[in-house]
Each structure stands twice: as C-alpha cells, then as structure tokens.
Amino acid sequence: MNENDIKKDFTQAYERAHAYWAPFLSEANTDLSVMLGDQWDASAKRYLEKQRRSALVFNKVRRVVKLIEGYQRKNRLALKVDPVEGSDQATASQLSALCQWQMQSCNAYHVMSDAFSAGALKTGVNLVNLFVDYSRDPLNGDIKIKRAPHNRFLLDPAFSERDLSDCNYICRRELLTKDAVRSILPAGKRHLIDNISPRGVADGKYEYGALARNPAGDNLLRYDEFWTRTHKPLTILMDPAAGLSLPWKGDAQTLERLLSAHPGLKIFETMRRSVELAVFVEDQLIHQGPEPGGLEDFPFVPVLGFFEPEYDQASWKLQGIVRCMRDPQTEVNKRRSKMLDIIDSQISTGWKARENSVVNPEALYQSGQGQVVWMKGDMDQAQRLLPPDIPAGLMQLSEILDKDIMEIPGANSELFGMAESDHMQIAGILAKMRQAAGLTILQDIFDNYRLAKKLVGQKLIKLIQANYTPQKVSRILGQPPTREFFTGDFGKYDAIPVEGVLSDSQRQMYFAQLVSLKQMGAPIPWKAVLDAAPIEDKGRLQAMLAEEEKARASQAQGQSALMRLQKDLARAKMRSDLAGAAQKQTQAMKNLAAETGERVRTAREIAQMDRGALRQAMPVIRKMQKEPNHARDHRQAAQPVLP
C-alpha cells in the first residue's frame, strides 16, 4: 500500500470515528469540568453577572469520586502469574516475579489507578498503553506503561468488546518534541523528521485535547499513530497423532519436502490476526509496518466505566459516575446561591424614620446593621425594620439534593466512615456489611478494572517473551530462565495472570503468603517465615533464633540420653525377670519330671503284685494315708499361740 492510500485510510478512519464520538467527547469534557469545579455553563454565568452575583460552587462531586478512587488505591492487588493445574510451577514463578518487578519498575500500579480514576470514574474511558523504550537498553529495551486520556484517541465506533478484540482501528495523537519523536521511531527512519518543523496552527483534530491548540506552540510536533487490525494468510503444520500444531514460516519447497518425508503431517490454511502501525508527523507518513513490540495485537487496554455497547448514541453508551451527579450538583449550586442571595439582599435589621424626626440621626446608624430608610410625610416616631424569613422548604430541598448526590451514584454514609444517625449504635460487622452493600452497586466498574489488569498481564507476558533475552531475565531474577520460559503459548495454556497481595517485591509477596499459610495451620517452621520476612536488622533476630534453637537442641539431646538410659534399665530389668522366670520354669519342670518318675516306679511295683497281695496291702495303705493327717493336726495343736 502506497503513502497516499495509507493517508487516505487514516483520514477516513479519523473522520468516521470523530463524527461518532464527538457527542461523547463533549459530555466527557463537561463531566471532567464538573468534577474539577467548573460547574456553571456560560449562559448561567452571564445571568449571574448581570445580577451582580458570584458563580458559587459547592463541589460535592469531588468527594464521591475521591471516595471510590481512594477505596481502589487503598485496596490495590498485585499482578502475579499462577500455573494452571499440572503446569510448570517453576516457570510460572519466574514469570510472576518478572511481572511483579516490571509493574514496580515502571510504576504501573499508579498508572492503572490513574486510568481508573480518570476513565471509569470521571469521563468513562482511558487507555493503558504498553510499549518498549530503547533509550537505555538498545538491545532488549525496557517495557513501559502509560495512560492515554480520553481526549487523545479515537476508537473504532463498531467496537463492543472490552478487550478491543473486535476493534478494527485506533487513532491517537501526541504533541512531542523532535528529539522525543526520534527516540520513538526506528533507527532507519529518524532522519526523515530532520526537515519537519511545527506548523503552530491547529488543524481542528482532537479539539477536546488539552494540547489541541498547542499553547506553547513553538517546538511541539503533531505525532499521530494509526493502528489497524489486519488479517494475513497463515499455514499451520499439524501432527494429528501427537495433537500438536505449529505455524509454518518457511518456504513452499521446504514444506513439500517435509510432507513427503513425513506422510503423517497435515497442513491447514487459515488467516492470522495482526496489527499494523502507521506514524504521521505533521501529516507526513514517516513509518509503516507491523506492531513493533511483537504482540501482534493492539498495545492498548481500555479501562471503562459504565459501558452499554448495544446502545447506539455515543453520548450515553459510555460514561463515568460523574454523569449521574451533574444535575443534582447543578441544583445544589443554584439553590444555595439563591439562599445566600436572599440573605445578602434583604435588610436584616435597621430603622425607618421621618426626616428631622430624631435628635441625633447618627444614632440610628449605630444599631443593627446600620440600615436607615429616611422618609417624608407623616410619621410620629421611628420604626424598626424586621427581615423576612428564608422559606423552610428551601432548606429541606437543599438537604434532599445533598443526599441525592451521594445516593444516585451508589455511595452511602457508611462509605464515608460515619453512621446514618448520631444516636444509632452500629456494630462493626454491620457497618462493614453496609459498606460492602454500597460497593456492590459499583461492582461492574471494579470488574472492568480487574479485567483491564488481567489483559495488561497477558500483554506484559507476551512483551517479555518477545523482547527480553535470557541474559536480561537472569539479571532481573538472579537465576537463569527455565526451558519453557520463552514458549509462546505458555502464558495461554500453562499460566494465567491473577491478582495477589500487593508488595514492593516478589519476596514480600512470598512472605505474605507464608504468613497466610501459617495462620491456616500449615506446618511451616518459624525459621522459614523469618528468613522471608522483609524487616530491618533481621540478622540479629536470626542469630537470637539460632541460639534459642541451639539451646533447645542441647536440651533435647540431654532428654534423649536420659530416655535412652531409662530404656536400657528397663530392658536389663526385663532380661533379669525373664531369666528368673526361665530358671523357675526349669526347676518346676525338674520337679514335675521327678514326681512323674516316682509315680511310674510305684505303678510298675503295683503292677508286679498279684491281686491277692494287693488286697492284703490295701488296709495298710489306707492306714498310711490317714496317719500323716493325724500327725499334722497333732503338731499344729502342740504349737504355742503368740499374743
């Protein structure tokens, strides 16, 4: 595509987007003015000026905006990378550490909060721009993040997705010095702006931009970017057996040889989405080529407020929370200005008297507010002037309007840290529940912000993988990257950007996670928690802990020796008891054997007797059996009885 065609496409795209978004830009500019305190339009100011009244402003919108903005800033969450189930934990940890370092090094969390405040709350939209700056690192570059205000860009009117996936083009303008433009352009294109000078005359574009009229006007160049989404043919090489696919970037002949050598491989023709960039400096085409960061997508993430893509009128489909507070704020200013005018214009106290009716006219000026009305005619004596009262309904109406400014956008008294009634005792848990209920009304705005942070994380991972070398990754992390670190689809299938505890470094986040697990009851030693703690003079505390552990180890060693000695004594006693029991058992067996032998001999002798002899011996045997019993009884009777 030649230069004339590119410039023609840019002009048509700008005119089409400007014609659609002009009503929104006008309303957004008014929203921003109201938030800043410029709340009277030109006609109202002229009316007040004719009546010699001041255009007083009682800005209550700022309080509500700063409340929600302060809540977001106070409850910031970090951007980290978690592995998908079954994925590589080491690679995900390295990506998480690098993202954390990157977000801290370029103040990305502050940029995101500024975009949330200026976009979601005040005007309705801001863009977060990710780019690579080669000014300090010509080899790798440094990834930077900055905010694009609502009045410096125009989106495709047909976009409806919050990730800009269906946006076909973006127009953006900056006013830069010649050296700043040189630092952005590729090295081979920098000489093209040597003969370009600022025109100093507004061209009518981006009329709501803060620098549209170039008030300095002497050395700033109009730098326009025209981002367009393109679709290019792409050949996919597939292995159905292994379930793998890979984009083919080689030539056709090499592909034919590869297919003939491996009949199982298949090819698939498709279209690949990409992004082209055209740069104009003072309406002259300076550069045209693919997206320079390697994203193959827009390097922008929108931070949206209330967005209704199905509504066609641009002035209403996109807006911040200021929009719904404009009318109540205007009425508050009118009513309070009217009340003050009534008070100032009426004669609160004074006198009405006839000329020459008092001896000392100066005395009348010394009472009340010094207002005296001199009259001619019949008046017997001076009369006091009494002021009219302000209508009570006007005060009540003012209070209602004050309450509307808080309640319409979704704020309530609990969000401001106060109870609804001074006489109401509210428990802390109930106050938190009411505060959470108030924030539920604004949940879609916070969801849009979280989505924007997730999209920033995805684009940040791609930029790191596309631009940083392993040496720079090792320098940042203190360890070499894993083998899967530069895998293009690792951030798509194996890890996802999520929110975590915000800290100044990955080490502090690790400490917060350890403490959380410790509180949940995980068996984590205190030494591991202390080693990860980001506290001052940690060495002395570690030495104290080491001494205490050494003392506990010595005490445990003594207790262990005592327990071993007790066990040895118990085993010795058990062996002695077992030996005595064995000896007793042996003696019992000997006694049993002797008794058994005696019985055998007796049985053998009895067997040798005949029946007659046995019959003759039976009386003698019975007598012998009875005789020991009588003798024992006699001996027991003969023993003395001890007292």
Look at residue 427 in the predicted model and tell me its pLDDT.
47
Q: Is the pLDDT of residue 219 over 60?
A: yes
Query: Of the ranges 164-168, 285-289, 520-524, 531-535, which one carries the lowest mean pLDDT score?
Result: 531-535
Q: What share of the chain is helix, strand, coil (3-state, %, to 5)?
A: 55, 15, 30
Look at residue 160 in the predicted model and tell me its pLDDT.
94
CB 255 within 8 A of CB 268: no
Look at residue 113 in the predicted model and tell me its pLDDT.
95
CB 275 within 8 A of CB 227: yes
Sketch the domain layout of the chain as residue ranges: 3-250+258-324+444-477, 517-563
638 against 411, higher pLDDT: 411
Q: Is the pLDDT of residue 552 over 90?
A: no
What percent of the chain shows pLDDT beyond 90?
Answer: 30
Confidence band, pLDDT 50/70/90 cuts, at residue 419: very low
Q: Is the pLDDT of residue 428 over 70?
A: no
Query: Of the ranges 49-58, 206-215, 267-276, 548-557, which one carries the lowest mean pLDDT score?
Result: 206-215
Q: Is the pLDDT of residue 7 over 90?
A: yes
Look at residue 484 in the predicted model and tell me its pLDDT.
82
Residues 207-219, mean pLDDT to the nearest whole number: 65
To the nearest 10°, report the CA torsion of 531, 535, 540, 541. Answer: -60
Look at residue 632 in the predicted model and tell me its pLDDT.
45
Q: Is the pLDDT of residue 273 over 80?
A: yes
Residues 572-596, mean pLDDT to the nearest whole number: 80
Look at residue 496 in the predicted model and tell me its pLDDT.
73
Quote the CA–CA distance of 426 and 490 in Å, as a whole number. 50
Look at residue 237 in the predicted model and tell me its pLDDT.
85
Residues 366-378, mean pLDDT to the nearest whole number: 59
Look at residue 52 in the predicted model and tell me its pLDDT.
79
Look at residue 504 in the predicted model and tell me its pLDDT.
56
| DSSP code of residue 588 | H
220 against 124, higher pLDDT: 124
Sign of CA dihedral 311, 316, 317, 322: negative
Q: Is the pLDDT of residue 536 over 80?
A: no
pLDDT in tens, 389-409: 667 777 777 788 778 888 788
Alpha-carbon separation of residue 630 from 20, 94, 622, 634, 635 (angstroms): 137, 104, 13, 6, 9
Q: Is the pLDDT of residue 17 over 90?
A: yes
Q: Is the pLDDT of residue 639 over 50?
A: no
* Secondary structure of residue 483 in the 3-state scheme: coil
Residues 472-498, mean pLDDT to the nearest whole number: 79
Quote the CA–CA distance of 198 and 219 in Å, as a whole number. 6
Confidence band, pLDDT 50/70/90 cuts, at residue 187: confident
Quote the CA–CA distance of 279 and 300 in Å, as a whole number. 16
Confidence band, pLDDT 50/70/90 cuts, at residue 290: very high
Tokens of 176: 């830069």
Q: Is the pLDDT of residue 9 over 70?
A: yes
Q: Is the pLDDT of residue 167 over 90?
A: yes
Question: Rounded to two decimals, what is the model's pTM?
Answer: 0.73
Instruction: Provide the phi-psi class of 200: left if phi over 0, else alpha when psi is between -120 and 50, else beta.
Output: left
Confidence band, pLDDT 50/70/90 cuts, at residue 492: low
Confidence band, pLDDT 50/70/90 cuts, at residue 173: very high
CB 90 within 8 A of CB 477: no
Q: Is the pLDDT of residue 133 over 70?
A: yes
Confidence band, pLDDT 50/70/90 cuts, at residue 75: confident
Look at residue 640 in the predicted model and tell me its pLDDT.
42
Question: Residue 80 pairs with which residues in a beta bridge?
Answer: 498
Q: Is the pLDDT of residue 283 over 60?
A: yes
261 against 426, higher pLDDT: 261
Look at residue 195 in the predicted model and tell me its pLDDT.
87
Look at residue 278 in the predicted model and tell me its pLDDT.
96
488 against 147, higher pLDDT: 147
Confidence band, pLDDT 50/70/90 cuts, at residue 213: low
Residues 67-83, mean pLDDT to the nearest whole number: 85
Residues 312-318, mean pLDDT to the nearest whole number: 93
What percent of the chain shows pLDDT beyond 70?
Answer: 75
Query: Of the ranges 141-155, 310-324, 506-520, which one carries the lowest mean pLDDT score?
Result: 506-520
Q: Is the pLDDT of residue 547 over 90?
A: no
Tokens 């903005």 map to which residue? Answer: 69
Look at residue 385 in the predicted model and tell me its pLDDT.
62
* 608-613 contacts at long range (C-beta below 8 A, 24 or more positions apart): none
Question: Which of the given ranges, 394-408, 424-438, 459-473, 601-615, has the highest pLDDT on average?
Answer: 459-473
Sign of CA dihedral 373, 379, 385, 390: negative
Residues 251-263, mean pLDDT to the nearest whole number: 84
Look at residue 611 in the predicted model and tell me its pLDDT.
55
Look at residue 166 in the predicted model and tell me its pLDDT.
93
Three-state secondary structure readout of 133-188? ECCCCCCCCEEEEEEECHHHEEECCCCCCCCCCCCCEEEEEEEECHHHHHHHCCHH
Half-sphere exposure of 284 (CA within 13 A, CB side): 13
Q: Letter for the amino acid at 69?
A: E
